[in-house]
Structure formats: C-alpha cells, structure tokens
Amino acid sequence: MIEMITLNGITYQVQQAGSGTPLLMLHGFTGTSSTWNSIQHTLQSNFHLIAPDLIGHGQTGTPDDPERYAMQHAAADLVALLDHLNIDTCHLLGYSMGGRLALYTAVHYRDRIRTLTLESSSPGLRTEAERNERRERDNTLADRIERDDIAAFVDFWQSLSLWASQADTLDAQAQADLRTERLSQHPKGLANSLLGMGTGVQPSLWDHLPDLDLPVQLIVGEHDAKFIGINQTIQTALFDAQLTVIPNAGHTAHLENPQAFAQTVLTFLNQHG
C-alpha cells in the first residue's frame, strides 16, 4: 500500500506492507522506499514494514529551505508518522544517510524505538574541522546537482569508488533499476538534502553512543573497508551492539546480497521481540 501523508507541513509518500511489529525503514541519499523491495518478501510475514520516501527524495515534498531538511526536523517527521499510524514503538532500520537519521532519531526519541539496525552508516564526523571540510564538498556537490541535469549528476555519482563492487554483485536488471531510481530524483531535493542533512552539517553523535541503551545491529559489506572500520569503532562505544559483515557485498549490502542481509535483519529482530 502506498499512501501520501502530510507530516509537519510536508507531504510524504509512505509504502507499507506486511503485518506484525512495526519496522520503520529509511533509505539512503538518492534512494526511495523502493530500495527495500528486494528484502520485503522476507520480512513482511513477521513485520509491518513502513518505508517513507525521505524529505527531498522520491515523491515526498522538496521544500526550498535547506534548514527544513535538518536532522531535528526530519526526525520529528518520523515521529509524526508513527503518531499518524498510531504506533507507540517500532524497530528502526536505516541505510547510509537513512542510518544517520535513524541513529539521530534513536538518540533523541529513545522511548519510541525498540531496536536499531544501521547499514553502512556512521554517527557523523567527530571534529568541527572535519565537518567544515565536508560541508565545503557537499556545498560544491549541491551546486553541481542544480547546475547540471539529473542524468549528468547520476553519471558522476555512479562513478564513485563507493559503488565499485556493484559491477560484480548486481546483475544488469538490478543496475538498471538502481539507475532509474536515482534518475527519478528532483535536483532541488537532492541539493537541499546535502545542505540540510549532509554529514558536514549534522551534529556529531559519537558522544551519545555510550548512553544508547537499546539493542543495535551494525551491518556492513565485506568490500566496504572504510565502513567496516567505522562500525568496528561504533560497536566498541555502544551498550549492546553486534556487527555483521555481509559477504559478497559492498556499501549497498541490502541490494548486493539481499538474501544474507534480510536473514541477518530477521534473526536480529526475532531475538529482540
């Protein structure tokens, strides 16, 4: 079921499937709710899947003010979504940008989250110097997105080394579907997402990790060395965390090895109610 729901003045497209304990699923930058289609069939028998197009993405609204995309507002929208659906608590799963938002939401709305699963994500950057450098890069990229057409940006984005493993792990149809998803985006939405919710502007969450008293699952692909290192450090800081490395996968483990990814998520969620 796909529904348009207005949350704090922004109309979100929300896809729902299955039944059982709610599982809120947050996609990454340039993604949409359809990124989870490859694992939906494994999870929907046990869980009520709720997958919004995040602000600035897919069919959700693209406000002009980058500040409206900031973590505190995006997280408040997620809580408003839970309220709209009459859901008190949920499991929360986020990939990359969606993982950063999921972690922020779990930190600031702890009473609404049962468990947290982070795929290829991070708590942000530790120092102001690192954030300043990243902000400059994100600002340049945002300008590029609005200056060039979306196809030119997607060509550039797909050339990044972060996605190198996809050439071997995704078949031709999966690669075509991923490109179509990226091409469906609105340039202003992507640009403002970087300016308002990018790693350079989000608050660092590293200092909050020791106080996050809920079960956390960290998932990374075996070919994503950078995020393996980041998540090993995250694991040591958390109260209750397990780290799983998905074989034959890179940064997009849920697409590159969906069967292993879905089973990992299912096992963890079943362990925690």
pLDDT tens, position by position, 227-267: 999 999 999 999 899 999 999 999 999 999 999 999 999 99
User: Domains in the chain, start-ordered, CATH in brackets?
Assistant: 2-271 (3.40.50.1820)
Q: Which two tokens stand for residue 252?
A: 């997009």
pLDDT category, 149, cuts 50, 70, 90?
Answer: confident
Q: Which of 56, 189, 210, 194 is nearest to 123 (CA)?
A: 210
- Give residue-wise pLDDT tens across range 97-109: 999 999 999 999 9
- What distances in angstroms separate CA 217 from CA 9, 46, 119, 144, 214, one per listed residue? 32, 18, 8, 35, 10
Question: Tens digit of pLDDT for each residue in 117-127?
Answer: 999 999 999 99
Residue 242 confidence (pLDDT): 96
CA 145 from chain center: how many Å? Answer: 20
- pLDDT of residue 179 exceeding 80, the answer is yes
Q: Give the rounded percent of residues in the chain with a pLDDT score beyond 90.
A: 98
Q: pTM, whole model, 2 decimals?
A: 0.97
Q: How many CA atoms lie within 13 A of 145 on its CB side?
A: 24
| Per-residue confidence (pLDDT) for residue 273, from 0 to 100 | 74
